[in-house]
Amino acid sequence: MTLKKVVSFFLLFFLLSTAKLKAQTVYVTESGKKYHAKNCSIVKTGKKGIELAEAKKQGYEPCKNCKADEIAETKPSKAAAAKEAAKTGSKK
C-alpha cells in the first residue's frame, strides 16, 4: 500500500466514525406538539431547530404531513455517501 492510500483510508475511517455523532435536526414551534422537517409546509414561521432526540424527549410527536421521523431514518448521512463513493471509486 502506498502512503497516499493509507492516509486516505484513515481519513475515510475518521469521517465515517465521527459522522454518526452528528444529530438530526428537526423543527418545533412554541405552541405546537409536533416536530417537522425543515421544508414542511405546515410550519413556515416561528420554528426553531432542535435535535430529534431532544424533541422526542420533550414529548413532541412526528408531523404526519412531512413525516420528519421517516426522513431522519432514511436520509443517507455524508459518511454513508463517502463510504459508497469509496466502494465504487467514484468522486462526489
pLDDT (tens digit per residue) in 6-62:
787 767 766 655 554 456 889 999 899 999 998 898 888 888 999 999 999 999 999
Together in a domain, 53 and 66: yes
pTM, rounded to two decimals: 0.54
Together in a domain, 47 and 17: no
Together in a domain, 27 and 63: yes
Give the domain extent around 45: 23-76
Q: What are phi and psi of 61, to 5 degrees?
A: -115, 160
Together in a domain, 9 and 52: no
Q: How many domains does the chain have?
A: 2
Together in a domain, 16 and 48: no
Amino acid at 70: E
The CA-CA-CA angle for residues 84, 86, 88, to 5°, reads 70
